[in-house]
Structure formats: structure tokens, C-alpha cells
Amino acid sequence: MRKKRMMALLLTGVILASMITGCGNQQTETPEAAEEMETAREQAAEEAPPQEESGGENVNLRFCWWGSDTRHEKTLEALAKYEELTGVHIEGEYSTISSYYEKLVTQLAGGTAPDVIQLDYPWITELAAQGDFFVNLEEYDIIDFGKFDMDYTKGWCSEGDKLAALPMAQNGFTLFFNRDVVKETGLSIDESTEWSWEDLIAEGEKFKATNPDKVFLHSDLHTLEKNVFKPYVLQQCGGQWINDDFTVNFTKEQLANAYAYLLELEEKDLIQPLEETMAYNGNIDQNPIWANGEAALLIRWASDYPSLINDNVQDIGCCRLPVIEGAADTGINCKPSMVLAINKDSVSVEECLKFANWMMTDEEAIKILGDCRGVPATAEARGILEENDLLNPDLKTGIEIASANAGTAQNGYHDNSEITSISTEILSRVLYKDLTPEEAAEEFLNTIQDPLATLAGN
């Protein structure tokens, strides 16, 4: 049973990866896919680096994460420092988000996953349904829990009574703006701006009338689904995206309204055509439009701030995500930017925990890592960064604005991989004009019934 569930989860990862790289149709499990899964397991088992028993300098661990080049560089620097201090070697395995989940699921299925694993919080729930993969952190007296807000930590990082992870940083949706473009074009926006979505369109039309060669709202399919479509729906319905009883909390009309809004953005040339952005889907900061300083606005997680800075974009501000008039909820998602879990099958669980504790509570580690994962989750770490001018004030402002306007805290089903892949694929068909907003709403409601039933155990 566990093998079948893991196979289904892997295929979900394949679907999600295909959405991120622009492929359209939903995939289903086939004998060929099952054979590929078994081959992937065998290859993962063959290629996994050998692990050595716990014991100081003989320990070799693996740590996987996703992120920007800045995050990679700072994390590798921290790993080198930890080895210098302890003799424990930790191999860094890093990638972009677009391939991360699929690879992790394959490794977990084959028993070859790294020892220390960066996760997105909803994956805790998804993966727990397939097996017992992660250490219960409270069973060991190694992590200094006194430095964490345990209500926040348990609220976001638990599966039932098990504390499966630690929050690495705080995060929230933010509307970023390139201050140089704002000054050049006269766009009226600053940190106090609180637009509605209709205001966004009105300001965009004025912007494009005088700056036809610039992009108003920089985006890709991944960003539009997560940062515009879902908030727009939640602002209408309030509450959860998917209820705890595995029913939806939105109506067909509310979905159609959101699809229609996104289509209006595309038709009024306020976002780039989808076909121009697909090569950078999931890596929006690498799109030359942003990299060359040719875009005004961008909706991203506040923790993405460091990756948005480059040679041509040096001055970025942020303000509140747009909210519809008369909203039932702001729909502004505030959560840990990512969480850290320990592989239960690691031969060096205690060494993993020592490293995790050092990474998030040691002053030297905190200074090395800075704000590469966002605003740290512990008050002590935030204080250390501020005292040493290592916490970007605009990043801090973004978190503060998002937190002050936070919507309903979403459960783990909000970012369920299979439902997100369906949502992303249908949104792409709306923007390619293969579906009307009304047709898309009906198809979305119909298509997610099977994954909802699976989540419910039916």
C-alpha cells in the first residue's frame, strides 16, 4: 500500500513539475510510469552517497534545499564553517524549486533521501500520509526550543502530535516595486499604498499608456496561480481554500471572477503573454525583463527579496498585496518561508539535530546566513541581524506589512501539489484562451473531486 501511495505522490510531483515548465495536460498513472518509478528507485539507491556512522569527524551528512544563488552561496559558507568547527562534513544538494519536490519524493520512495531536508510546510501533511519519514524533534533533547515561538512552530510544523520540522523564516505575500522604474515613470506607489485589484488595473492602464515598452506586473504562470488567483478567490470566500473536511470553500462564480480578472490583466497587456514567460517559469527573477530593470511591479514572497536584487535592480520597495473591495478576507498568506526536517532513516540523527540547532540558533551561523531565507523565525536571530545591519530593512518591512494584513492561516491543503497542478494547468488554458472563465471554473471544481476524495481517504 505504501509503495502505491508513494508512486501516486511521485506522479503528482511529475505533474507539478510539468506545469512549472509549461506542459499542459494532466498525467495519470500508467504501467510505463510505474516502471519508470521503479527504475528511479533503483537509480536513486545506486547513486546515493554512502553514509557513515555517527561519531564526530567520521560523520558525512547530506542537506538539500532550493533557492536563489544567494541562498546557495550563504548556505554552502555555513556548511564549511560547521565542518571547520565540528569536523562533520555536510554535502549540499541544492536546486531550483521547479525540480525539487519530484526529486525528493523519488528519494524518499527509494530510501535515499538526504539527512537534513528543507521543506515547504504543506509537504509535511502530504508526505505524512505516505509514510513516517521525519524525526519527531521533541523526542530528542538537542534543539533549543526556548528560542522558538512554540505556538507558531507547532501550528505550522506539526502532523498530529508529532513535531516534524522547525520554521526557518517568516514569510508573506508582498507587492514589490522597482523604485527606479517608479521614479522614471511617475507611477504612484510607496510603502503605504493599499490598492484594490481594480486600482491595480487602473494604475496599470495609465502606466502602459506612457510606457508601452515596459512591463507593469512582472509574472509567470506559477506566480499568477499562487499569488493572484488564490488570493483573489480567498478574498471573496474567506476562510480556508480547502476545508478540513476536504470540501471546497469557494463557489463556481468566485472562481470564474478570479479567472476573468487574470484574463483582463493579460488582455490589457499588464502582464507579459504566457508564452514569453514559460522559459523562466518558477525562476521569475531570471527573466531578462526583471533582470534588466524593465518591470515595475512583482508579487512575491517577502523572503524572495535577496534574489530580486541584481546589477540592474538595486532599489526595491514593497507594499500590501491588492485586496478586492468589500473582501471577506485579505487572502494574504503568511507562513514559514520553509521548514527544516530530519530524515528518520539517517544513521546520524543526533548529528543532524546538532547541525539544525547550530544553523538556527548559533550567532555565527545566523550572521553567515543573514536573510537569505527571509526574516528568521526566532526573535533572537532577528535581533542579531538587526544589530549587525544584516537584515534588509525592505525585507523586514515586507514581512511586517504582510503580517499586519494577514489573512486566515491556511491548512496544509492550500498548497496540495495535485490540486495546485490542476489549478495551474487550467489557469494556463484560460490565459491561452482555450477555456472561458466560466468553463474553467466548472472544470476546476469537477477535476479536483478525485484528489479531494483521496485526501479524505475515500
Residue 44 forms part of a structural domain: no
Q: Taking residues 384-389, report their average pLDDT.
A: 97
In a domain, 23, yes or no: no
pLDDT over threshold 80, residue 17: no
Q: What separation in angstroms does the CA of 376 have from each of 335, 370, 372, 439? A: 12, 8, 9, 43
Residue 32 pLDDT greater than 90, yes or no? no
Instruction: pLDDT band for 129, please (50, 70, 90 cuts).
Output: confident
| Domains: count for the chain | 2
Same domain, 104 and 228: no
Report the pLDDT averaged over residues 225-251: 96
- For residue 105, how far is the Cα from the chain centroid? 16
**Domain-located, residue 225:** yes
Say if residue 126 is in the same domain as residue 88. yes
Mean local confidence (pLDDT), 391-399: 89
Reduced to 3 states (helix: H, G, I; strand: E, B; else coil), residue 254 is: helix
pLDDT at 29 over 50: no
**Average pLDDT over the chain, rounded to an integer:** 88
Instruction: Give yes or no for a contact between 51 and 346, defined as CB atoms under 8 angstroms apart.
Output: yes
Reported as a pLDDT band with limits 50, 70 and 90, residue 285 is confident
Query: E-assigned strands of 291-429?
Result: 295-301, 316-319, 334-342, 375-376
Write a three-state SS string for 144-213.
CHHHCCHHHHHHHHEECCEECCEEEEEEEEEEEEEHHHHHHHCCCCCCCCCCCHHHHHHHHHHHHHHCCC
Q: What is the pLDDT of residue 286?
A: 86
Alpha-carbon distances of 13 from 103, 125, 190, 350, 455, rounded to whole Å: 8, 15, 39, 30, 16
Q: Please answer whether residues 185 and 296 qualify as being in contact, where contact means their C-beta atoms are separated by less than 8 angstroms.
A: yes
> Same domain, yes or no, for 84 and 177?
no
Residue 1 lies in a domain: no
Q: At a CB cut-off of 8 Å and minimum separation 6, what does 417 contact?
A: 9, 12, 13, 15, 16, 101, 123, 126
Report if residue 320 sits inside a domain. Answer: yes
Percent of the chain exceeding pLDDT 70 equals 88
Q: Where does residue 220 fall: left (phi above 0), alpha (psi -120 to 50 degrees), or beta otherwise?
A: beta
Question: How far apart are alpha carbons 75 and 369 in whole angstroms?
Answer: 6
303 pLDDT band, cuts 50/70/90, is confident
Over residues 119-143, the mean pLDDT reads: 94
User: Residue 57 — very low, low, confident or very high, per pLDDT cuts 50/70/90?
Assistant: low
Q: Looking at the structure, do residues 219 and 297 belong to the same domain, yes or no?
A: yes
Question: What per-residue confidence (pLDDT) applies to 307?
Answer: 83
Instruction: Work out the average pLDDT over 390-396.
Output: 89
Kindly give, in sequence order, each residue whose CB lies less than 8 Å from that of residue 395, ignoring residues fewer than 6 positions away: 302, 303, 305, 306, 371, 374, 375
Q: For position 216, what pLDDT does the model report? A: 98
Where in the sequence is the domain holding 66, given as residue range(s)? 61-171+337-404
- Can you tell me the distance from the alpha carbon of 401 to that of 199, in angstroms, rounded to the nearest whole number? 19
Decide if 61 contacts 92 (C-beta within 8 A). no
Q: Quick one: 167 and 177 in the same domain?
A: no
Those residues whose C-beta lies under 8 Å from the C-beta of residue 204, and which sit 6 or more positions away, are 216, 217, 265, 268, 270
Q: Is the pLDDT of residue 18 over 80?
A: no
For residues 137-142, give the mean pLDDT: 98
**pLDDT at position 56, please?**
53
pLDDT surpasses 70 at 158: yes
- Give yes or no: residues 138 and 148 share one domain: yes
* Last residue of one domain, picked from the residues 383, 404, 425: 404
Q: Are residues 430 and 291 in the same domain?
A: yes
**Co-location of 448 and 326 in the same domain:** yes
pLDDT digits (tens, 9 = 90+) for 353-381: 999 999 999 999 999 999 999 899 999 99
- 227 and 342 part of one domain: no
Give every CB contact of residue 321 below 8 A, 6+ residues apart in sequence. 173, 174, 175, 227, 231, 299, 330, 331, 332, 402, 405
**215 lies in the same domain as 105:** no
Give alpha helix (H) positions in 268-312.
274-277, 288-291, 305-308
pTM of the complete model beyond 0.85: no
Max mean pLDDT among 95-99, 174-178, 308-312 falls in 174-178
For residues 197 and 107, state if they share a domain.
no
Q: What is the pLDDT of residue 458?
A: 76
